[in-house]
A and B are shown apart, each in its own frame.
Chain A
């Protein structure tokens, strides 16, 4: 069975709600839609207080290429255009909508039957994907149309579809693969057409045998799409590691997967592309897992973007008494939330509640130079060295030892027997070094 070869760790996978079917989360508002939910240039609102909006109506605009827009998840009235906290508790511009009836934009088709026939041209597909606000749903929220627009000096050989879900607890991609396999495969075909590649590989980790079997069976009917079972190892779902695992290629340092001839899309993104291209639906809802060791009823929900995460917790029987940490995303790369008053965004895959006894870090001891961080680093870096260099403010050393290659997967800190905050310092150093490099390039 294939996998990537360098580093990685094996945390317990804890897929608690693998068998909980996805259900629609009812919520009667108000919805709070953050204006910028993507990586790139921020968008500007085009609605104002008191406006009536239809479901699927664009709420923001942006002329920049590296950007995306958001749409109304429900029909209703714009209550306010104000600020709301994001997952990092920073105040961000947001649009509040009070739902009222269900009036959809005319172009949207709510017909659930499968539509296999791809009528749009590659350029039209990319245009549509941009207009429907599709971003990478694996968590990074990179605008999908940018990934589909291949630079002139590159050529895509493979479309790699990420169904790995290597983070413990996360299970939304798995549920989607079980519930919407045909839609995902049509979405993959659409992306293949947009990229003009003839090979697509869907990578799924071996702890999801049902999804592997189902997609293998269905993929037989589609040209050029294959399904690959991957040996369990974190961080296999990271782009560079997935490229290595599925194709044996390596993305050159400082470059993107397209420089290795690969474009990677999450299975959730493939489904969103299907909905956008075949049903003309903007991205206004997604699957979110609510999970954790002490959650009474761990469940998976179809949630409209803009729903506060408190509604998700309520639907699962409320916040357990001993909750110590609430994480947006998985336990390895997710963000700890300061409160539940945060809206669901396009990038939210899970809400993980950890009990108080698992919420605190261990006592930091001296580095015992065991080398476990070096062995665990999937990028072949030396985290102990970078950690010390950052603590001594030696950014020159950090740059020399390639801190910018760090993918922030957290394997080093996970494995450190001295509980050293390796990733905290590496993140800090990486940001500083990136800033130094930018300044150097602009002054040149």
Chain B
């Protein structure tokens, strides 16, 4: 009897289920960090030390910002080990020109973590993708710095530079075509003089935000996310599919004024957006159909902004606009219930 009593003291009594699946928030978030590594490696390969600096500054600033707010404003335990601040830091860096002055990166990180994430109560409560808010904040505040793109380092003759002023800069393929169109040069003409081959678009040898340049590296990371079941196929497929179809319709209507659809998918941040930004769990819908509608909206808006808006790339705005629709989508697209 005494034996039983000593047992009863240490037995745990709780409701079922008594076992838990393998997933945890930290595992998911660090999984995303791993998926970002190929694109990270490519960005360092092409943009060198400035890319390393921007990535380190952005990540460190995001983590510091989250720690400070959590510690002194919210007075809650440190939440850094869930990995979400690291993801925001990396994704923000991926959306910046490698040569952006470091203090601008810090400001962007503060907007991303402070405004877009912690102001709502931290991970899980933010309606908008924090990294994109940071990026758009910078784009609106520092339009020139945010559109001064370093050219990839010439690997045959590498030259290490840290300052934007010293780096060889140039427009991204999309912004070049947009400028040319405004000067009356047709898309066909621009594509001929662009000097960027589809292979270079795949590997990432082009000017652009540091993490968006290599389609292959992003696809590799995206496949990892799918394999780890961190994301489902719905958002990337709907996003890229609708962008492709919409671009194809425009291109069919007027090939002189609009980009070919394949080229649209390989340029700008659309790949990074479709696999890493739009799929952010916190800011995307819950159900498969909701995700498809969300992805469709992202694709349509991206092409719309690119072709008819003021910005050459429209992915950030498209995703942020669709983020705002998520509660509505969740309301409208319910799972099909059993027995109905």
Contacts and interface: CB of A to CB of B under 8 A. Distances in A.
A76 to B, nearest CB: 23
Contacts of B170: none
Interface string A318-359: 010001111100011111111111000000000010101011
B8 interface: yes
A423 B17 contact: yes
B37 interface: no
Contacts of A402: 337
A255 interface: yes
Contacts of A319: 7
A250 B286 contact: no
A368 to B, nearest CB: 4
A440 interface: no
B286 A327 contact: no
Interface string A381-417: 1101000000000000000001001001010011111
Contacts of B281: 368-371
A332 B124 contact: no
B12 A419 contact: no
B121 interface: yes
Contacts of A377: 335
B322 to A, nearest CB: 15
Interface string A146-170: 0000000000000000000000100
B337 A379 contact: yes
Interface residues of A, number: 69
A6 B336 CA distance: 9
Contact of A423 (B4, B7, B16, B340): B16
A239 B20 CA distance: 23
A326 B18 CA distance: 10
Contacts of B70: none
Contact of A331 (B18, B125, B285, B286): B18
Interface in B191-247: none
Which 5 A-B pairs have CB atoms at the shortest separation, nearest pair first? A410-B17, A366-B124, A380-B337, A371-B286, A359-B12
A339 B337 contact: no
A405 B338 contact: yes
Given A168-B19, A324-B11, A368-B281, A417 B337 contact: no
Contact of B11 (A325, A366, A421): A325
Nearest to A371: B286
A55 interface: no
Contacts of B283: 369
A408 B17 CA distance: 9
B18 A338 contact: no
B335 A250 contact: no
A95 B285 CA distance: 55
Given A337-B13, A382-B334, A405-B338, A331 B7 contact: no
B286 A365 contact: no
Contacts of B284: 369
A32 B104 CA distance: 75
Contact of B13 (A338, A358, A371): A338
Nearest to A384: B286
A368 B8 contact: no
Interface stretch (B24-32, B42-50, B131-139, B262-270): B24-32
Contacts of A438: none
22 contacts: A11-B19, A11-B21, A251-B339, A310-B4, A334-B16, A335-B16, A336-B14, A337-B11, A337-B13, A339-B11, A359-B18, A366-B122, A366-B124, A368-B124, A368-B281, A371-B281, A380-B340, A405-B339, A413-B20, A415-B21, A416-B23, A418-B24
Size category of the B interface is 35 or more
A112 interface: no
A324 B10 contact: yes
Interface of A: 6, 9, 11, 89, 168, 240, 244, 250-253, 255, 310, 319, 323-327, 331-341, 352, 354, 356, 358-362, 365-372, 374, 377-382, 384, 402, 405, 408, 410, 413-419, 421, 423-424, 427
B184 interface: no
Which secondary structure dominates chain A's binding surface?
A: loop
Contacts of A417: 23-25, 27-28
Contact of A253 (B82, B123, B339): B339
Contacts of B7: 319, 323, 339-340
B15 A423 contact: yes
B282 interface: yes
B169 interface: no
Interface of B: 4, 7-8, 10-21, 23-25, 27-28, 82, 121-125, 281-287, 334-340
Given A331-B19, A410-B16, A255 B339 contact: yes
A113 B7 CA distance: 44
Nearest to A338: B13
Contacts of B124: 365-369, 418
Given A365-B25, A414-B20, A414-B21, A371 B287 contact: yes
A339 B122 CA distance: 41
Nearest to A259: B339
Contact of A372 (B4, B10, B23, B336): B23
A366 B24 contact: no
B19, B25, B282, most chain A CB atoms within 10 A? B19
A368 B286 contact: no
Nearest to A377: B335
Contacts of A11: 19, 21
B19 to A, nearest CB: 4
A382 B338 contact: no
B4, B16, B24, B287, most chain A CB atoms within 10 A? B16
Contacts of B123: 365-366, 368
B286 A419 contact: no
Given A340-B7, A366-B122, A334 B339 contact: no
Contact of A415 (B23, B122, B125, B286): B23
A356 to B, nearest CB: 8
Nearest to B27: A417
B10, B13, B14, most chain A CB atoms within 10 A? B13
Given A325-B14, A336-B13, 12 more contacts: A11-B21, A240-B339, A325-B18, A356-B12, A365-B124, A366-B122, A366-B123, A368-B28, A374-B286, A405-B337, A419-B24, A424-B15
B338 A332 contact: no
A253 B286 contact: no
Nearest to B331: A385
A423 B17 CA distance: 8
Contacts of B335: 6, 374, 377, 380-382
B291 to A, nearest CB: 8
Nearest to B286: A371
Given A335-B16, A413-B17, A419-B20, A323 B11 contact: yes
Contacts of B282: 368-369
